[in-house]
Structure formats: structure tokens, C-alpha cells
A and B are shown apart, each in its own frame.
Chain A
Amino acid sequence: MSTAVLSQDTRAVGRGRPGVRTTLTPGSSLGLGIAMVWFSLLVLIPLAAIVATAGDGGWSGYIDTFKNPQSWAAIKLTVGQSLLVTAINVVMGTMIAWVLVRDRFWGKRLLDLVIDIPFAMPTVVAGLVLLGLYGPESPLGVNVSNTRTSVTLALAFVTLPFIVRTVQPVLAELDADVEEAAASLGATRLTILRRIVLPSIIPAIAAGAALSFARAISEYGSLVLLSGSLPFRTEAVSVRVLSFIEGGNRTAAASLATIMLGVALLVIVALDILQRRVARRG
């Protein structure tokens, strides 16, 4: 939810870019200092170290990674499945958020609580639960273990809450009066959804989609038991990176990680651009 707010904020700052003037007071500059140190220690320095390690192999390191058919298959699988799952989440997550905010029904509180379980559960446990439910001894008679569908399933499970949780508060804040006014002026439900509701929640959906995608391409725990990690078929990038580390090839591990970093950045930027376009049109 904070991400949704955040993305709107950055937009506002972005618009006022010409002649940026600092608003820092003594207190807030101390805050900024602490925030930057914390951020650097946790994120910037480790990321720089990965990129630097990947740089050991020069450009040929990256080219080798792409040329290795097994790594390339893992990249294709992971990115493809993550995009698919993100698309599913955009629809399903928004729908769940809508139901949770707009409708009243028995068990709503419980559903609201249960949504977060994929966040709270260790992902290896999630993998085990999914394997029990959709594996060879499935009580439902559905066995997807060791197939690509199992990857979709595992990723969908662990990323489910992101869009629900980003869209929900924005939807709750939305003024019903505007929709009523539109309806009284003769707008159809579809028009209201398209012209009033969607533009307001698109930034939240985009923020949730970015989180969901980023989470999906990095997923490891829930996949290890369910997907079987078969090279060329169900081996995800995270497992491949682990193999490189285990084999003592840190440069290859780092260059594969850096490639995924680039992919994540690309998708996050693309989602941001898309979100701005749609929001402006609305």
C-alpha cells in the first residue's frame, strides 16, 4: 500500500523537475542521511558487488551466459512464467481487492486475513503444501509436479497478495460520490469503470505488478520441491545461479544475476511508463 502512495509521490516530484528546490530541514536531512546509509548497506553496496563480480568476466561473461543453452532456457522459463503470473495477478488480484472492498459477505474478514498467508509462510513450506495438493498423491487428482505448470502454480501462489494489497487501500479511499454522480449523468457501469475507477487504481495495479514480477523472477523456495528443476524444462534461474555458486563459478552466477537485475529494471520501468500513460489518458 505504501508503494502505491510512493509511486504517486514520485510522479508529483517528477512534474516539478525544472528548478528542483530542496525542502530539507535539519531534521529531515539527518533522516535522509540515515535512510541513505541504511539503503546503501542493505541494497546498493551488495548490488554493486554483484555487478562488479559479474564484470570480472568482462562482456564475454554475459555473452557466455546467453550462449549457454541451459542458462538461456532457464531465463526464458523464468521471465516467461513471471510475466504470465503477473498478468494473471493483475486480473485476479484486482478482482479479489474489489470483492474485499466493495462487497459485504460472510467470511470477508477471514478472507482478508488469509490473503497474506503466502507472505507469511516460508516458501519451502509453500512448495511442500502445493506438492501435497497438486503432486503425485493429490487428493484432487491433479498432478502437475515436475512440469512447467507447476512453476506457474508456485509463482502464482507466492505473488498473489501483492496486487491485492496495493489495490485494496486505494480502492477503499475512492469516493463513491464520483461514481454515483457519473451514474446519475447517464454513464454506463462500464464507462464508470473505465473512466473513473481504473485511472485511479492503475498506479496501484502497476506498483503491485512490479512487485509481483520482481518476486516471481527471484523465487526459489517454493520451486525446489515442486518443479523438479529439470534442466531445459523446469529449471528456474535461481536454481541455475545456485548451481553456478555450488560449482565455484561466481562470475557466471553474478552475470546471470545481473542479467535478471536488468530484466527486473526493464519491466519495472515499462510498467511505470504504462501506468503514467494510462493515468494521463484517464
Chain B
Amino acid sequence: MIQRTRLLALTAAALAVPAILSGCAASSGSSGDSDSVSVVGFSVMKTANERLIAAFQKTDEGKGVKFTTSYGASGDQARAVIGGLHADEVHFSLEPDMAKLVDSGDVSKDWNQNATDGILTDSIVVFLVRKGNPLGIKTWEDLTKPGVKVVTPNPESSGSAKWNLLAAWAHAAHAPGGSDAKAKQYVTKLLENTIAMPASGNDAMASFLAGNGDVLVAYENDSIASRAAGNDVDYVIPDDTLLIENPAAVTTDATPAAKDFLDFQLSKEGQTLYAKAGFRPVIDGVQTEVPGAEDPSDPYPTVKTLYTLNDDFGGWPEADPKYFGEDTGLISKIIAGLNIGG
């Protein structure tokens, strides 16, 4: 008797499992109306995108379009979409995350065949310093002076931190008289001055705002947003720095409304709204005041020497393994060799 009831219970349980699992699957795949857009983006885009979505919904194409949004660390978001998170449009911090979706078939191979090569927002690597720049930080060389405390996120856990260290590398390798050997030396010195390597760009910002360090190696857009939010910080644009390019694309099963939205984001109106939020426009002719910029009326001064991933590093597919490959990457090896404190 007991045997039989136990068998019954186990059968019931066995039946319940697939039922529960299929229930989950059904509910996650239910979105996808023709007039809805699911945006999956990296965390910094949240505030800016809210404004763009509101403006888009006022246009003829955008009238009545419903939006669902999800923001998080760029790499996490890419993994989530591969894992089944529904997305009509994806917007990442760096191209390797987009490449993951191309590999998984979620984004078409020709995603970057448009006027901006698939890039939706630009920024540059800058130095965020305490109000009034008490240490007089101006150049990359100032960061490696004795006693200067630097904060930069960890490139092993934060994909976006890779921009920062590649900027440092470019400064020492690609400036006149530079070489890979010098770059290695420079990045080593920079990391020796680093007092915290938080897991993400947001954590690094929080750590810096809590008083850690003299300089945060940061993005221009984050720095502008931080100042616009009223934090007592300034930022310095060095004479030579790296262009940060954030790619966006619609997915293979995107709704028509998603394509309209991407067109809107790339339009003059869309780029102006992004510019107000701290991002350098990817198209010409955008003029606007930017609250939080060092000079709100000339928010995005031309950088004397602007390195790019494509021209100076041969693009992400080449640079990512070369500098950040786990045991072989040039920068990964520097971090592994630091052996700080023992």
C-alpha cells in the first residue's frame, strides 16, 4: 500500500516537472506584438533611452508603440538574449557582445551595414577628478606619477573597462615614439597606481564618488551624467584618447516598429537627445547645450589625437584576444603579473 502511494506521488511529481517547465517557457515567449518594441541595452543607456522613447512615441511612426526595456551589464545582457530574453533591439557597450548574438543567430551578419557602421552612440575615455582638479591631472603621464591614486573597473569582469585600458595602451604605443614595450611598461605603472578595480563601471563610479582615489578613468558620458546629477567632480579630456563606440542593432525577428525606433535613434532628433545625455553624436550637424559638460555650450571639443579600435587595434575581433585573452592577453598578463601585496 505504502509502496503504491509512494509510486503515485513520484508519478505525480514527474508529471508536474514538465508542466511547470513548459509553463515558464510559454509565458516568456508571449511578447512580440507588431507594435511593441523590446529594448535590451547596457546599463548606462537607461536614462537617455527613456527620453528617446518618449520623443519617439510623439512621432507618427511611434504613435501607440509599446516599449519594454531591460538594462544591465553589457555582457550579461548579451548572454540573457542568447538565453532566451526577448529582444527587438539590442544596444551594447562594445562590439564583441554583438558578435555573440551574430554567432547565436539572434542578429543578422550584416547588422553593421549602415551609415554609422552599426554604431549608435559614441563617447571617449576621460579622467574624472575631484572638483577643481586639485592634483592638476592633464595627461596620461600624470596618472602614473608617484602617489596618484587611480580607480578603474576590472577589464576581466567588466567588458566596458576594456576601453579604458586600451586607451592607456594606445597612448603609450601609438603616440609618436611609442612602442608595445613602452605600452606594457606604462600600463603596468598605471595598474600599480590603481587602488581599486571594481567589477563594473557603475561600481567604479560609486567607489570614486564615495571618496576612493584621485582619478577615475571613465567615459565622457558617465562623467557628464555624474556632473549633471550634481556630484562634486570635474573631468579632463587628455590630448590623446580612445573613441568609444557602442553598437546597436535590431534582432532577426524584430518588429517593424523596432526598425523605426532605430532609425529615429540615428536621426538628428535622436542623436540630439543622446548628445544632451552625454554621448557624442555619430552623425554630423548636431548642435546642442549639454548640462553637466565642462563647457555646456561646446560640450564635445575635438580631441587632438583620437585613437579608434579599427585604425589602431585592428578591430575588436583582433584586439579582444590579443589584449584580454585569459592567459595570453597582453593586458591580462600584466594584471596576473601584478601580484599586488604578495
The stretch from A47-55, A157-165, A224-232 touching chain B is: A224-232
* A79-87, A106-114, A131-139, A191-199 - the one binding chain B: A131-139
> In the assembled complex, which residues on chain B have CB atoms less than 8 Å from the CB atom of A231?
154, 197, 335-336, 338, 340
A9 interface contact, C-beta 8 A: no
Among B5, B20, B196, B210, the one with the most A-chain Cβ atoms within 10 Å of its Cβ is B210
Q: Are B5 and A246 in contact (CB under 8 A)?
A: no
Contact residue among A30, A69, A137, A233 (Cβ-Cβ distance under 8 Å from B9): A30
Q: How far is the CB of B192 from chain A (nearest CB, A)?
A: 11
Residues of B within 8 A of A69 (CB): 336, 339
User: Please, how many angstroms separate the alpha-carbon atoms of A229 and B194 in the complex?
Assistant: 11
Contact residues on B (Cβ < 8 Å of other chain), bracket: 35 or more
Partner among B6, B212, B336, B341 whose Cβ is within 8 Å of the Cβ of A136: B212
Chain A nearest CB: distance from B160 CB in Å?
10
In this complex, what residue of A is CB-closest to B211? Answer: A136
5 nearest CB pairs, A to B: A228-B196, A136-B211, A33-B9, A243-B156, A137-B211
- Docked-complex contact A225 and B210, CB < 8 angstroms: yes
Which listed segment binds B: A34-42, A88-96, A201-209, A269-277? A34-42
Give complex CA distance A132, B210 in Å: 7
Q: Is there an interface contact between A131 and B156, defined as CB atoms closer than 8 Å?
A: no
How near does chain B come to A134, taking the closest CB pair, in angstroms?
Answer: 10
Contact A228 B197 (CB under 8 A): yes
Interface string of A115-143 (1 = CB under 8 A from B): 00000000000001001100111000000
Cα-based distance from A25 to B211 in the complex (angstroms): 62
Across the interface, B156 reaches (CB within 8 A) one of A128, A224, A246, namely A246
Contact with B along A217-241 (1 / 0, CB 8 A): 0000000110011111101000100
Task: Give 15 pairs: A residue, B residue, CB < 8 Å, sorted on A.
Answer: A33-B6, A33-B12, A33-B13, A70-B335, A131-B207, A135-B210, A137-B210, A146-B212, A224-B199, A224-B200, A224-B203, A228-B197, A232-B338, A233-B342, A239-B157
A41 to B16, CA, bound (A): 11
A32 within 8 A of B: yes
Q: How far is the CA of A135 from the CA of B211 in the complex (A)?
A: 7
Contact call A30/B12, Cβ cutoff below 8 A: yes
Q: Is A19 at the interface (CB under 8 A from chain B)?
A: no
List A contacts of B17 (CB < 8 A).
37, 41
Report B-chain residues with C-beta under 8 Å of the C-beta of A232.
338-342
Are B212 and A228 closer than 8 Å at their CB atoms? yes
B336 pairs with A70, CB closer than 8 A: yes
Residues of B within 8 A of A37 (CB): 13, 16-17
Q: A247, B156: Cβ atoms under 8 Å?
A: yes
Q: Does A16 count as interface, using CB distance less than 8 angstroms?
A: no
A30, B336: Cα distance in complex, Å? 53
Given contact pairs A29-B9, A229-B157, A231-B336, enumerate 16 new A-B contacts (beta carbons under 8 Å).
Answer: A30-B5, A34-B9, A37-B16, A131-B206, A135-B212, A136-B211, A136-B212, A145-B212, A224-B198, A224-B203, A229-B197, A231-B154, A243-B156, A246-B73, A246-B157, A247-B324
Contacts of B62 in A (CB 8 A): none
* Interface membership of B159, Cβ < 8 A: yes
A29 → chain B, closest Cβ, in Å?
4
B281 adjacent to chain A (CB < 8 Å): no
Contact partners of A2 in chain B: CB under 8 A: none
A229 touches B326 (CB 8 A): no
Q: How far is the CA of A145 from the CA of B203 in the complex (A)?
A: 13
